[in-house]
Copies of this chain bind each other. A is one copy, B any other.
């Protein structure tokens, strides 16, 4: 993904992009999505607005890339934690300790924390809401941001099937929605508080099933 330019120019360009991403996230938090403008993002990032127009077609595109950048940074942090840190090769999957429920709780609790992060709540809501009414933007959101995360659940659930912890006739791509769907529904519609305890119960219900054991 990194441009093959001279190192200095490339580094300067990366710094500008990141400043623009951070400015977009902060502005949406402060004034809301609708009142966020390319001009406002440029002023806050300390770049000319032509710089933004050269790289992105719209403020939605800036915001989308800001989230991709955040996801990349999180992956880098996770990679650094596991010892490497200089490559994107070791994508941070869902851990496999052999205890499916425990592994899923770890990941869903982290998702709860991310969703409840006040620095990201407004831009995440804004981008999601725009995608709900704008099918093209929504498809991009799913393709770039959501699907790569969902793929991690498919991988973990397949491993659980191989380990005999999940029935062989279960479709992992559908099963993961029993985990993600309730969390996102509760967060998006704010029906009730989104807590670690809730994440744990969703995992227990989904993994263990509702029906009494025979």
Residues of A within 8 A of B (CB): 32-33, 122, 125-126, 128-133, 135, 138-139, 141-142, 146-147, 150, 164-167, 170-171, 173-175, 177-178, 180-186, 188-192, 198, 201-202, 205-214
What are 21 A-B contacts with C-beta separation under 8 Å? A125-B132, A125-B133, A126-B133, A128-B132, A132-B189, A135-B190, A173-B192, A174-B201, A175-B205, A177-B202, A178-B178, A178-B181, A178-B202, A178-B205, A178-B210, A182-B182, A207-B210, A207-B211, A208-B209, A208-B210, A214-B214
Contact A177 B171, beta carbon cutoff 8 Å: no
Q: How many monomers of this chain does the complex have?
A: 2
Q: Which residues in B have their C-beta under 8 angstroms from that of A131?
A: 189
